[in-house]
Chains A and B, each alone.
Chain A
Amino acid sequence: MSVTDFFAILGMPVSCELDKAMLDEQYHKRQAQWHPDRYVNASEPEKMQALQHTSLLNDAYNILKNPLRRAEHLLDLHTCGTLDVPPPKLEPDFLLQQLELREELERIAHQHDETAYSQLRQTVDASLARQWQVMAAEISLNDWCNARLCLQKLQFLYKLQDELNHLEDRWLEN
Chain B
Amino acid sequence: MVLFTIAEPGQGRARQVIRRKRAAGIDLGTTNSLVAVAKEGKAEVIADVHGQRLLPSVVQYRADGSHMVGEAALSADANVSIISSSKRLLGRGLADIRYQLPYALQQDAKQGMVYIETVAGPVSPVQVAADILKSLVERAQAALGGELDGVVITVPAYFDEAQRQATRAAARVAGLNVLRLLNEPTAAAVAYGLDKQLQGTIVIYDLGGGTFDVSLMRLHNGVFEVLAIGGDSALGGDDIDRAIADWMLQQSGTNGISNELYRQLLQQARTAKHVLTAAQSTTVVVGNWQAEFTRDTLYQLMDAYIDTTLKACRRVLRDAALTVADVTDVVLVGGSTRSPRVQQKVQEFFGRLPLCSINPDEVVALGAALQADVLAGNKYGDAALLLDVMPLSLGVETMGGLMEKIIPRNSTIPLSRAQEFTTFRDGQSVMSFHVYQGERELVSDCRSLAQFELRGIPPMVAGAARIRVGFQVDADGLLEVRAEELSTGVKSSIVVKPSFGLEEHDIAGMIKASIDSAALDKARRSLREKQVEAQRHLESLKAALRQDGDTLLSPVERNTLEKLMQELAEAATGEDAARIERLTETLNSQSRDFAGRRMDAGIKAALAGQKLDSLGESL
Contacts and interface: CB of A to CB of B under 8 A. Distances in A.
Which 4 pairs from chain A and chain B are nearest by CB? Answer: A55-B416, A36-B475, A41-B377, A58-B412
B102 interface: no
B387 interface: yes
A1 interface: no
Nearest to A32: B385
B355 interface: no
B413 interface: yes
B376 interface: yes
26 contacts: A28-B220, A28-B221, A28-B385, A31-B223, A31-B385, A31-B387, A32-B223, A35-B385, A35-B387, A36-B414, A36-B474, A37-B180, A37-B386, A37-B475, A51-B474, A52-B416, A54-B414, A54-B475, A55-B414, A55-B416, A55-B472, A58-B413, A58-B415, A61-B412, A62-B412, A173-B311
Contact of A51 (B376, B412, B414): B414
Interface size class on chain A is 20 to 34
Contacts of A54: 414, 475
Interface size class on chain B is 20 to 34
B561 interface: no
Interface in A125-174: 165, 169, 172-173
A114 interface: no
B152 to A, nearest CB: 11
Interface string A39-61: 01100000000011011101101
A37 B411 contact: no
B319 to A, nearest CB: 10
Interface in B155-193: 179-180
B375 interface: yes
Contact of B318 (A31, A36, A56, A169): A169
A163 to B, nearest CB: 14
Interface string B380-415: 000101110000000000000000000000011111
A31 B414 CA distance: 11
Interface string B90-108: 0000000000000000000
Contacts of A31: 223, 385, 387
Contacts of B377: 40-41
Contacts of B385: 28, 31-32, 35, 37
A31 B388 CA distance: 12
Contact of B314 (A28, A52, A165, A172): A172
A52 B416 CA distance: 8
A26 to B, nearest CB: 12
Given A58-B411, A169-B315, A173-B311, A40 B475 contact: no
A81 to B, nearest CB: 15
Contacts of B383: 37
Interface in B185-226: 220-221, 223, 225
A37 B412 CA distance: 14
B311 to A, nearest CB: 6
B128 interface: no
B546 to A, nearest CB: 67
Nearest to B376: A40
Given A31-B387, A172-B315, A37 B414 contact: no
Contacts of A62: 411-412
Given A51-B414, A58-B414, A62-B412, 13 more contacts: A28-B223, A31-B387, A36-B474, A36-B475, A37-B383, A37-B386, A40-B179, A40-B376, A40-B377, A41-B377, A51-B472, A51-B474, A54-B475
Max chain A CB contacts within 10 Å: which of B179, B220, B416?
Answer: B416
B37 interface: no
A56 B472 CA distance: 11
Nearest to A28: B223
Contacts of A172: 311, 314-315
B35 to A, nearest CB: 20
Contact of A35 (B179, B221, B472, B475): B475
Contacts of B413: 58
Contact of B375 (A37, A59, A61, A165): A37
A35 B381 CA distance: 12
Contact of A59 (B220, B415, B475): B415
Contacts of B318: 165, 169
B1 to A, nearest CB: 11
Max chain A CB contacts within 10 Å: which of B374, B414, B474?
Answer: B414
Contacts of A35: 385, 387, 475
A35 B236 CA distance: 33
B475 A51 contact: yes
A55 B479 CA distance: 13
A55 B374 contact: no
A88 to B, nearest CB: 26
Contacts of B315: 169, 172
A173 B386 CA distance: 31
B452 to A, nearest CB: 21
A51 B415 CA distance: 8
A40 B474 CA distance: 13
A166 to B, nearest CB: 11
Contact of A37 (B374, B417, B472): B374
Interface string A59-75: 10110000000000000
B457 to A, nearest CB: 23
B16 to A, nearest CB: 14
Contacts of B311: 172-173
Nearest to B375: A40
Interface in B411-449: 411-417
Interface in A93-107: none
Nearest to B385: A32
A36 B315 CA distance: 30
A6 to B, nearest CB: 14
Max chain B CB contacts within 10 Å: which of A58, A62, A172?
Answer: A58
A60 to B, nearest CB: 11
Contacts of A61: 412
B377 to A, nearest CB: 5
Nearest to B371: A37
A55 B387 CA distance: 12
A37 B382 CA distance: 12
B542 to A, nearest CB: 62
B235 to A, nearest CB: 15
Contacts of B220: 28
A31 B413 CA distance: 11
Contacts of A59: 415-417
Max chain B CB contacts within 10 Å: which of A28, A35, A40, A173?
Answer: A40
B486 to A, nearest CB: 13
Contacts of B387: 31, 35
Contacts of B417: 59
A35 to B, nearest CB: 6
Interface in B316-336: 318
